[in-house]
Structure 1
Amino acid sequence: MANGWMPPEEYVRTLPKQTGYACLYFTDEHGNPLQLRSVHAEHAEVWQWPGGNLDAGETPWAAAVRECREETGLDFRGEPRLLLTHFVTPRATWPCPHVGFVFDGGTLTARELAAITLDPAEHGEWAVRSPEAWRDDMDDSTYRRLAAAVEARRTGVAGYLETLNRSGD
């Protein structure tokens, strides 16, 4: 190792490891966010957007579209429009940093919402509510993410959010 230089394959082993997730943020025709109720609430957020973890070699956009199709039956064909990048520090239930990409899925019509077919192994119901009405069903960090996505959609400027977990959270 001359002058502090390492071969890339060696250097990469020294870097922190992290996982990623991607999802689509949809609203109804009144601007109310769509969320899916997880059947795994003891291990995950109770209410979630269609999305999930990236598979090996998968891009965030591909993961968001794939997960949306798997979880809702909706075959999203829009263009990628990033609303929010979300960085989550390690926590007791997830031992490494987690980076999220929230993409704008646009507006769903009443007909499109009625066509949602949930994967019962993942979600038990879906709902659309005003952002304020979601507040009572979400913890503070999850609601901050919702509020950041709402603001990004409103302003047209992608946001960045950090969720800093304390040890043992």
Structure 2
Amino acid sequence: MTHTWLPPAEYIATLPRATAYACLYFTDTRGRPFQLRATQASELWQWPGGNMDPGETPWETALRECREETGMVFSGEPRLLGAHFTSDRGQDWPANHIGFIFDGGELTDEQIAGVVLDPAEHSAYRVRSLDEWEREMSPRGFRRLVAVDRARRAGTTIYLEAADAS
């Protein structure tokens, strides 16, 4: 096979498109996951996070989005819990989507009570046990929640694909 050198801009144009998001996974002090109820999203319940802005790192994105969506300023160290890949989803989202899920640690009752939501993005926040979340979430969203929670408890990092948990 013959390879022809292309200038970087031309070569990049031949590669698959992708967007990226980053978020923080929190629990309360009893280990129950904290999630936000989205006003407009395919997955109703989600973690504080969102799409990366130009020039941002995944960690910077997670911190910014957490602050914007909850009013919380997270000052912990970056600890990656998981990476999430969703392939091209057709006309509605003609690009791959890559996610970085960071460990936000435990929130105290006072921190949870101090959450200030952006009503344009989220209408509520909840802390629930996994059994309770299972009744409120889509099956794929719940599988992702369980996988991330399990990784956090085990001190490991996971890799998920859309078929696993998109």
Q: Same-fold call, TM > 0.5?
A: yes
Letter of the 1:64 partner, please give it. A
1:4 is aligned to 4
Structure 1 spans left out of the alignment, 5+ residues: none
2:73 is aligned to 75
Could you tell me the percent identity over the aligned residues?
A: 55
1:84 is aligned to 82
1:14 CA displacement: 0.9
1:10 CA displacement: 2.4
- Listed one character per residue, the Cα deviations across residues 34-71 of structure 1 (whole Å, up to 9, x for unaligned) are 0001111xx43111100001111211110000000000
Letter of the 1:109 partner, please give it. T
Give the match's secondary structure for 1:69.
Answer: helix
Q: 2:52 aligns with which of 51, 54, 60?
A: 54
TM norm structure 2:
0.92
Residue 123 to residue 11, structure 1, CA distance change in 2 (3 Å): same
> In the TM superposition, what are the counterparts of 1:113-152 in structure 2 within 5 Å?
113-152=112-151
2:154 is aligned to 155
TM norm structure 1:
0.90
Q: Is the 8 A contact 1:89 1:164 kept in 2?
A: no
Give the match's secondary structure for 1:4.
Answer: coil
Matched, 1:17 2:17: yes
Q: How many residues align?
A: 162
My pick for the range that moved more, 46-55 or 9-18, is 9-18
Measure the CA separation in 1 of the matches of 2:96 and 2:3. Answer: 30
Measure the CA separation in 2 of the matches of 1:74 and 1:25. Answer: 13
Structure 2 spans left out of the alignment, 5+ residues: none
